[in-house]
Structure 1
Amino acid sequence: MKALNKLFIFFLVSHLFISNITRAQEIIPSTLEIKDRSFAIVTDRTTFEKCQKEITAYRDVIESEFLPTLIIYHSWKNPEQIKNELKKLYESSKTEGVIFIGDIPIPMILKAQHLTNVSTAIPSDRFYDDFSLTFDFLEQSKTNTQLFFYNLGISSPNRIRSTIYSARLKPLASSSKSNDKYQQISTYLNKAVQARQQKNSVDQIMSYVAFQPLSAWSSQSYFLEEQFPQVLKSSTRFQNYKDDKFRTLQGETINQFRRKDLDIAFIRQYALSNVAMIHPNVTLTIFADNPIGNFSEPQYDAGYFTFSPGNALTVLANSVQPTPHPHPTYLIGSLNMGLNIGQWAKLNNTLESHLLGDPTFFFSLSSADTLSQFVNETDNKHLVQALSKVSSPEAQSFLLNQLFLNRYEGLTKLLMQYYDSSKYATVRYTCIHIAERQEGEIRSALFSKGIKDPDECIRLEVIHSMARIGDPIFIPALVEAYTENQHAESILSAINMALYAFNKDLIKNIAEQHFMTTNNYTDKSAEKEKFYDTQFTGVYLEIDKKIFDTNSDRQKQGIADLHTVHYHPSITRYLEFVRNSKMNIDLRIAMLESLSCFRDSYRKPEIVAACKELMVDTRHSKRLRDEARRTLNNIN
């Protein structure tokens, strides 16, 4: 018997030893010494075996630019295996980014309504690259075993802040043997290697908007001109246009995509058809507000860019319909100053935004200011010194953003200083954007300035923020902004939506006084009635009538509407709704989910107190108590 036990132990130890050897062979170390950063290529075993030559060549070209690169391959069983490996590499090898190549498990995230624009499952690689987020596993799809469903963890942080950058290289489904998924990957990686042969600065840009008011289009154009000043040297370097009611320019957009000298294409309100036939050559394409990057589907439009026969290299796209962003190219000018595409995208990550293609590509320097040395800088004194020396607006914005990420104590003073003194809209926008995420006097002071800023993107940012916060002290500024922005269609639309978040009677009282004293109109009474006709109609005007209806379908719709319009005046009633044990439990849960979107509300303390009470009140079901705990974490 003892002999058998010894034999069993021998075989067990041997098996573990061999398993460790196998695991070690799955990590191919960098050929360079790792000092302060590295990059990871993660792929599945079959893809590595079939594309080993191309993956190795891709690794070599990245390392030729002094970024140590590891290759990790395995027959991955679930996303947790990969995330654990990335965490280890981050600690041991200072890994700054990763590309997922081939058949890599796809996390599908639920219970994240406060982070995105939809309540359905969202394909998101924030599972992998944001180490602070936590997730609760639900199930693996039976119809597509690559999909793994998770709830965002009850105690997970309520904002995205990726630890590393990430990108996907997921081929399109194909019935062609000559262009199967492995051939697509090999062809792309050869293209990525070839793209490094010529050093290229950002000097050719195309911006296209399908439909947008002229004033908003002009504002975004000014931003791009400040971010890429070198493109102004020639009228042909910055192709910037939009559709209008008389003509559409989709055909010209396709011609632009096919240009071999185009560096960046920026697309809003994407309306192109037959994407597979475009064959783009642009290095980086940004689809700002369309869900064309859903890589959980066998075929997805962004994939036709990445895997096109043209030279298109990298796409930034969304996996679901994103929340509208007034400035989706925030800090993109840093690509002029040494950052690679992944480092820039990481600064703007949302739950649904994803890079598809090579994230390590960087453009040649075309600015006197360089920023790559500050990407991971934690010494605020060093950053402040650098801020005082840089001259370009995008470098100033980047360094202010780094100080914010580092929680610099002197930031409030700097924000006010740079907002008041800067002639650059991008810098003033950065000050407003950072102030929005802070509480106290700095936010109110900059909002009062920002809503009158000459730049429309800045005014839009302030208006959206005022609606999310919901403090009635903002109503006079919003009503005044209505009368001062009659030329700006986007501003008027934003004010209309923002005022839905406030009490109707308060708006009327303030509007009555304002229209009596304003000198903007010859017929004040007629303009006031026009304002009322616009403001006091629409589907969001009577949210509470739906919520407190007796019809459950109308109630569900009203509660869902709170994701879009945060109606702060009725928070007391909403909390009573949740506490009421006579109400349908599903509706009470839905209300808690909607209240998790009120994390910026000036009435947040009331929601926090109610959730703390509900969490420990055993008269309520465990399901409701757990949801209260989740909501508490989401808004804190």
Structure 2
Amino acid sequence: MKYRLLIILLAAFTVALQAKKTSNGFAIVIDSASYQQAENEVKRYAESIEADGLKTYLIIDRWFHPDSIKQELKRLYHVKKNPIEGAVLIGDIPIVMVRDAQHLTSAFKMNQKRDWQQSSVASDRFYDDFDLSFDFLRQDSLKPLFFYYSLRPDSKQTIRSDIYTARIKPLEKGKKDKYAQLRDYLTKVVDVKTKEKNNIIDNLSVARGYGYNSESKVAWSGEQLALKEQFPTLFNPESYVKFMDFDSYWPMKPYWMNEILRPDLDIMLFHHHGSNDRQYVNGYKSGSDTNTSIENIKIYLRSKVSSAVKKGKDKEETIAYYTNLLDVPRAWCEEAFDPVLMEKDSVMNASLEISVDDILAISPNARFVMFDACYNGSFYEDEYIAGAYLFNNGKTVVTQANTVNTIQDKWPDKFLGLLDHGLRIGQWGKYTHFLETHILGDPTFRFAKNSAGDFDINDALTIHRNDNRFWRKALASPDVDIQAMALQMLYENNDPGISDLLRKSYFESFDMIVRLQSLMLLSRLNNDAFVEVLAAAATDSYELTKRYTLDFIGKNGSEELLPAVARAILNDNTSKRINFKISSAYRMLNLDKLEAELLNQSENRPLYAREMLDNTLKSIRSANQSKKRDIPSISDKSISVSKRASEISRFRNHPASDEADILLSVLADRTDDPELRTAAVEALGWYNYSYHKEYIIGQLQQLVSTESNETVLSEIKKSINRLSGQ
């Protein structure tokens, strides 16, 4: 194979490896040291990508700055012949730490006054979404790989990546040095892709950890029904699908580890809590018998007492505190210093979680692993869970994981069924990620197509990406995820009839996936059709659709939707996560009218017991009192700025539509604290689902020409763009 030098830049040089019969390209970006250490493996990896029909560009980074790399990727995306559809960042490629863009994450809302390494989000959206504009702030003095950037007010404020990206970032603390890890990983990828070209998805496992989605059985069963729609052949005799809940056994860790080792496992989906180096599987052993209850209390006390003393607290005072607090024997607290019990607790705690070291001690075989968990994809750390699966023996070649915390109430399996059509993992990730979500490993990896017909999903999302006529025809596909993707592309391409189409799709589709996709896209339009569908979707058969609906209803705030909330309270009171969403919405609704509606609907309803209803009414009244007490404090200048700021920050999670004027009044008062005014307008940027959204935009636009404080003005412009969907 011949290498032809195309261009030498300040930041990098690029060479092209010619693939046969291809229309798209793919970029391999690698630092010079890693390339020197793994040149042969990189070339073989590039050949494997070309064998799959992508022209490969090799970019060797020598300037070490994110802007230079982004400009080269952007250039390759716009070339007329063989434009890139994606890129992989190998080795020590600069890590962009994004600031002032928490609205692009699913859940991350840390105070940015905290340490920058903690309060910034490591994100490769910098490299793959060319419409996101940033201001460079500085390079980290302690971690030179970190480059801090701020999202500009005049930037697009939504994610719509132009290409897909992935990281191949070896562990700094792995079984071997990072260059040996890289060589071994690339060799593994080529081996798996070469030997398993015809491997279809016929083995899939799903595991759920404790505390995830309130441990709701309804949510858990809903996902299983949805996966059957997305992967119909998986439920046939020739295939194997498995669901493992955390409480099936205690501890569940050995069963998860065994599953990871299965040689024939294609996909492993994890839903659990996590950290950069841990997958949290179980909590303490559950049980109603006396011995289990007593033992759990003892374990809790030993943990609390020991931890407090290690932090410097007086031993005797700590023992006395917990003895009195829980009214337990002093001896139970003193056990914290028993060497035998300390060792026993250590072993027990290790059995409740999977660590990086645990994974490095085995050979994971699931080809693709999804970590629906916080921090498991923290490739900026010396060690991270997703990396332990990749830079290891076995057959795991690609993962999806998050660099910071992530919301539980999301659609983690969105478009997943397209993998059954041979979709590249990178393309799947491109349409599912938040700021924190990343593909780690080879993004060009794909399973063999397991569907009839000549529909090529990879060509559809590249060659036909902007062809609305093509996607209108795709709506006739019997496959739910192809229909869902067709709706996605028609929305992105601004199809003139998209609102009516989404409304029609929701009300006429028999498929849960299509209805949910229609709802999600309508939420971005936030029009009359959205409100109409919300009223109906509160009783949808799919739990996740109902969960999203009740979240949207709270954030929309329209009183037209209160009857739907009341019905959900009466009909879905055994669904834990639905109840959680309803109670979370209280602060955003007119609670006087909700209480009246609930009483009206329950008046002639036969009830065996009223306890649930009475408890709900009690919660509504309590939330109402709290709301009426707290809201006025926002504009009360006799209260400290810090307390007022704390109250304003609550609107980021609970943007109450009927209280928007209070935030606007703080913003409009130029005698008020500038930092508080900035917080108020930033909070208004979270009103994108509100029925008052257009009103808020209008009020903010009136302030643009008169605001003199540059920081406040900058945030006003950003919030306008956020609310406008820009």
Say yes or no: TM over 0.5. yes
In structure 2, the partner of 1:202 is 201
How far did 1:326 drift?
3.4
Change (3 A) 1:309 1:411: same
More displaced 10-residue stretch of structure 1: 478-487 or 248-257: 248-257
**Matches of 2:96 and 2:9, distance apart in 1:** 26
- State the one-letter code of the partner of 1:220: E
Is residue 344 of structure 1 aligned with residue 433 of structure 2?
A: no
Question: How do 1:232-631 residues align onto structure 2 when only pairs under 5 Å count?
Answer: 232-234=235-237, 237-244=240-247, 247-270=250-273, 271=280, 272-278=353-359, 279=362, 280-368=364-452, 370=455, 371-376=457-462, 377=464, 378-388=466-476, 390-517=477-604, 519=605, 521-523=607-609, 526-537=611-622, 541=627, 543-544=630-631, 547-548=634-635, 550-618=639-707, 620-631=708-719
Trace 1:215-234 onto structure 2 (pairs within 5 A): 215-234=218-237
Root-mean-square deviation over aligned CA pairs: 2.4
- Distance verdict in 2 for CA 1:573–1:277, change over 3 Å: same
Q: Which amino acid aligns with 1:452?
A: T
**Is 1:169 matched with 2:168?**
yes
**3-state SS, counterpart of residue 252 of structure 1:** helix
Question: Measured at CA, do residues 254 and 633 of structure 1 come closer, stay the same or move farther in structure 2, by a change above 3 Å?
Answer: same
SS in 2 for 1:68: strand
Q: Distance in 2 between matches of 1:545 and 1:273?
A: 47
Asked whether 1:115 is paired with 2:104, we answer yes
- Give SS of 2:78's match: helix
2:389 counterpart letter in structure 1: F
Query: How much does 1:150 deviate?
Result: 1.0
Name 2:129's counterpart in structure 1: 130
Q: Using the aligned pairs only, state the percent identity.
A: 28
Task: State the alpha-carbon separation in 1 of the partners of residues 62 and 414 from structure 2.
Answer: 38
Partner Cα separation in structure 2 for residue 34 and residue 81 of structure 1: 30
8 Å Cα contact 2:135-2:149 kept in structure 1: yes
- Cα shift at 1:157: 1.3
CA distance in 1, matches of 2:512, 2:721: 35
Counterpart of 1:83 in structure 2 is 70
CA contact (8 A) 2:678 2:712 kept: yes
The Cα shift of 1:222 comes to 0.9
Task: From the superposition, tell whether residues 406 and 22 of structure 1 become closer, same or farther in structure 2 (CA, over 3 Å).
Answer: closer
Report the secondary structure of 2:38's partner residue: helix
SS of alignment partner, residue 625 of structure 1: helix
In 1, Cα distance between equivalents of 2:547 and 2:474: 30
Tell me the equivalent position of 1:191: 188
Whether the 8 Å CA contact 1:338–1:362 is kept in 2: the answer is yes
Residue by residue, what CA displacement relative to the aligned partner does 1:333-363 show, whole Å, maximum 9, x if unpaired?
A: 0011121100111111211100110000010
Distance in 2 (alpha carbons) for counterparts of 1:380 and 1:255: 46
What SS does the corresponding residue of 1:29 show, helix, strand or coil?
Answer: strand
CA contact (8 A) 2:401 2:438 kept: yes
Instruction: Count matched residues.
Output: 613
Cα deviation digits, residues 168-203 of structure 1 (max 9, x gap): 011111387xx2111111111001101112121111
After superposition, what is the alpha-carbon deviation per residue over 1:502-548, rounded to whole angstroms, capped at 9, x for unaligned? 1222322322322324x152455x54421122334469856526635
**Residues 265-274 or 160-169, more deviating:** 265-274
Cα distance in 1 between the residues matched to 2:60 and 2:434: 27
1:63 paired with 2:50, answer yes
Please say if residues 113 and 593 of structure 1, whose CA atoms lie closer than 8 Å, have aligned partners that are also in contact: no
8 Å Cα contact 1:108/1:122 also seen in 2 = yes
In the other structure, the counterpart of 1:30 is 17
What secondary structure, in the 3-state scheme, does the structure 2 residue paired with 1:562 have? helix
Q: What TM-score, normalized by structure 1, do the two folds share? A: 0.91
Contact 1:451 1:477 in 2 (8 A): yes
Cα 1:583–1:520, aligned 2, differ >3 Å: closer, same or farther? farther
What residue number does 2:86 align with?
Answer: 97
Cα shift readout 1:464-501 (whole Å, capped 9, x = no counterpart):
22222222221221111110112212111111112221
Letter in 1 for 2:582: I
How far has the Cα of 1:146 moved from its partner?
A: 0.9
**Contact 2:634–2:662 at 8 Å: present in 1 too?**
no
Determine if contact 1:108/1:123 at 8 Å carries over to the other structure: yes
**CA distance in 1: counterparts of 2:139 and 2:440, whole angstroms:** 24
1:453, CA displacement in angstroms? 1.1
Identify which range, 497-506 or 94-103, moves more after superposition: 497-506
Indicate the residue corresponding to 2:321 in structure 1: none
Q: Distance in 1 between matches of 2:502 and 2:683?
A: 32
* Offset at residue 327 of structure 1 (A): 1.7
Alpha-carbon distance, 1:449 to partner: 2.1
Equivalent residue letter for 1:357: G
Secondary structure at the aligned position of 2:588 is classed as coil
Q: State the SS of the aligned residue for 2:459.
A: helix
Once the two structures are overlaid, the 10-residue window that deviates more, 626-635 or 55-64, is 626-635
CA distance in 1, matches of 2:253, 2:623: 32
In the alignment, the residues of structure 1 paired with residue 255 and residue 104 of structure 2 have an alpha-carbon distance, to the nearest angstrom, of: 35
Return the alpha-carbon distance in structure 2 between the equivalents of residues 306 and 557 of structure 1: 42
Structure 1 residues 535 and 22: alpha-carbon distance in aligned structure 2, compared to 1, 3 A threshold:
closer
CA contact (8 A) 2:90 2:168 kept: yes
Determine helix, strand or coil for the equivalent of 1:285.
strand
SS of aligned partner of 2:375: coil
> Per-residue displacement from partner, 1:413-462 (whole Å, max 9, x unpaired)?
43344333433211222222222222333212322221111111111121
Q: Which residue of 2 aligns with 1:7?
A: none
Specify the code of the residue in structure 2 equivalent to 1:321. N
Q: Give the secondary structure class of the aligned counterpart of 1:591.
A: helix
Residues 520/128 of structure 1: CA separation in 2 closer, same or farther (3 Å cut): farther
- What letter matches 1:100 in structure 2? L
Equivalent residue letter for 1:460: R
Q: Are 2:133 and 2:151, in contact at CA under 8 Å, matched by a contact in 1?
A: yes
What's the TM-score, normalizing by structure 2? 0.80
Letter of the 2:374 partner, please give it: N
Read off the aligned partner of 1:97 and give its amino acid letter.
G
- Structure 1 equivalent of residue 288 of structure 2: none
For residue 149 of structure 2, give the secondary structure of its aligned residue in structure 1: strand
Which residue identity does 2:721 align to in structure 1? N
Residues 123 and 546 of structure 1: CA distance in aligned 2, closer, same or farther (over 3 Å): farther
- Greater shift, 504-513 or 157-166, is seen at 504-513
Change (3 A) 1:284 1:595: same
Return the alpha-carbon distance in structure 1 between the equivalents of residues 718 and 9 of structure 2: 41
Shift of 1:23: 6.5
With 142-151 and 372-381 compared, the bigger mean Cα shift is at: 372-381
SS at match of 2:505: helix
Within 1, Cα distance between the matches of 2:522 and 2:9? 51
Contact 2:23/2:54, CA 8 A, preserved across alignment: no
Q: CA deviation at 1:599?
A: 2.0
Bigger Cα displacement from structure 2, 127-136 vs 601-610: 601-610
